[in-house]
Amino acid sequence: MDSTLEDVPPRLRPTLRMLLKKCLDDGRIRSVWLEGSLAQGSADDWSDIDLHLAVIQPENFAAIEWLDSKVHLVLADAIPGLSGSFICLTSDWIQIDLNVHS
C-alpha cells in the first residue's frame, strides 16, 4: 500500500486516511498497521478495515472510546476470545476490526 492510498477502495479512503492521521497524532500509539484484504491489496468497497494498534499501556487505552471519538460508531463489541479486539461499525456502514497490542 502506498502513502497516497490509491490502491485502497474509494469508499474506504477517507476513513482510513483520517484514522491513520489520528494515529500519528496520538502519542499513546507507537505503531499502526493493517491486515486482511487491505494489506493484501485485494480489498473492495465493502471490505472491512483490519486496524492494529501497538499502544503504550494497553490496559489504560480505551479502544472503543478512542475509535468512537474519530468515527461515529453504531456498533462496538468485543470479539470473544481475543483480548483487545473489537468489531465496530460506523454510521457509514464501514466495518472496522480494531485490535490493540502492547
Domains defined for the chain, CATH in brackets? 13-101 (3.30.460.10)
- Per-residue pLDDT, 46: 94
Predicted confidence (pLDDT) per residue in 41-77, tens digit: 999 999 999 999 999 999 999 999 999 999 999 999 9
Which residues are CB-contacts of 84 (< 8 A; sequence separation ≥ 6)? 58, 63, 99, 100, 101
Q: Are 24 and 18 in contact (CB under 8 A)?
A: no
Q: How far apart, in Å, are the Cα atoms of 93 and each of 32, 48, 82? A: 22, 10, 23
Residues in the chain: 102
* pTM assigned to the model: 0.94
